[in-house]
Chains A and B, each alone.
Chain A
Amino acid sequence: GAVVSQHPSWVICKSGTSVKIECRSLDFQATTMFWYRQFPKQSLMLMATSNEGSKATYEQGVEKDKFLINHASLTLSTLTVTSAHPEDSSFYICSARGEGGYSNQPQHFGDGTRLSIL
C-alpha cells in the first residue's frame, strides 16, 4: 500500500529555533500534499495544501511566514516552523494523495511529528 514517511517523529527544542519537518511518499508520486495540526483530543486542523512545483495554499488564520511549506518534488514536502514558540507545540501530520490527484482517492498519512517548544 501507499506509504508516507514523516521525519522526525519527535522534536524538542528551545524557543526561537526553526524546525523543519519532512514528509515523503515512498512508493507513489504525491501530486498533492497536506499539512495538518492536531491538538490533544481534537480533530485535525488543515493548515495548508501544497501541489508540486507551486506555492502552498494556506487555510484562513494560518501564518504562511510562520509555517513555510515547500513541495519541491512529487515525493517530498517540507514544513518549516520558523522561530518556534511554546504555542507552536503540537502534533503535526502530513498527508499525501497520488494517482493524478483525483479527489476520490484516499489521502495517506504520515505518523506525525510531536513538536515541543521549551
Chain B
Amino acid sequence: AQSVAQPEDQVNVAEGNPLTVKCTYSVSGNPYLFWYVQYPNRGLQFLLKYITGDNLVKGSYGFEAEFNKSQTSFHLKKPSALVSDSALYFCAVRDRGGATNKLIFGTGTLLAVQP
C-alpha cells in the first residue's frame, strides 16, 4: 500500500538555524514527491517536487529537499529559518506507475520558528 510518513508532529527551531522536516514514503514503483505548505485558514501552497534527475531539489522561499532512494526519504530543508516559515508542512507522493493519479499526503508537520 502506498503511504507517506511524517514522523514529527511538530518541529521547533530558532530563527537563523537550519531546519529539517522529515518525510519517508512507501510506494510500489518510482515516486513523484511533493512538499506543500499551509498557513492558517488557507489552502496548500506548492513548494517543490522531485520527478527525476538530481536528488537535491530546490524550491520556493529558499527551501530544498533531498531525495534518498535507499532510505525512501524526501526530507525538507532550509539553511536558515525565518519566523515567517512557521506553518504546517505536508509531504505528498504520487505513484507514477500506479493506476491512480491522486496524491497521498502525510499527516503534516507543524514548524514553529522562534525569534
Interface residues of A, Cβ cutoff 8 Å to B: 4, 6, 32, 34, 42-44, 46, 49, 91, 93-95, 101, 103-104, 106-112, 114
A-B contact count (CB 8 A): 54
Q: Which chain B residues border A110 with CB–CB below 8 Å?
A: 43
Contact A42–B107 (Cβ < 8 Å): yes
Contact B49–A112 (Cβ < 8 Å): no
* Complexed CA–CA distance, A110 and B45 (Å): 9
Q: Which chain B residues border A104 with CB–CB below 8 Å?
A: 32, 49, 51, 94, 96
Given A42-B107, A103-B94, A104-B51, residue A6 in contact with residue B102 (CB < 8 A): no
Q: Closest residue of chain A to B32, judged by CB?
A: A104
Q: Which chain A residues border B101 with CB–CB below 8 Å?
A: 32, 49, 101, 103
Question: 13 additional contacts, CB 8 Å, given A49-B102, A106-B46?
Answer: A4-B43, A43-B108, A44-B90, A95-B43, A103-B94, A104-B94, A106-B34, A106-B49, A107-B46, A109-B43, A111-B41, A111-B42, A112-B41
Q: Closest residue of chain B to A49, judged by CB?
A: B102
* Complexed CA–CA distance, A63 and B41 (Å): 25
* Complexed CA–CA distance, A34 and B104 (Å): 12
Give me 11 A-to-B residue pairs in the complex whose CB atoms sit less than 8 angstroms apart, sorted by A's number: A34-B102, A34-B103, A42-B108, A44-B90, A46-B103, A95-B44, A104-B96, A107-B103, A111-B43, A112-B41, A112-B42
Dominant secondary structure of chain A at its interface with chain B? strand
Q: Closest residue of chain B to A32, judged by CB?
A: B101
* Complexed CA–CA distance, A91 and B38 (Å): 13
* Complexed CA–CA distance, A103 and B51 (Å): 10
Residue-by-residue, is B71-115 near A (CB-CB < 8 Å gives 1, otherwise 0)? 000000000000000000010001010000111011110000000
Q: Which chain B residues border A107 with CB–CB below 8 Å?
A: 46, 103
Residue-by-residue, is B51-71 near A (CB-CB < 8 Å gives 1, otherwise 0)? 100000000000000000000
Q: Which chain A residues border B34 with CB–CB below 8 Å?
A: 106
Given A44-B90, A104-B32, A106-B49, residue A6 in contact with residue B105 (CB < 8 A): no
Q: Which chain A residues border B41 with CB–CB below 8 Å?
A: 91, 111-112, 114
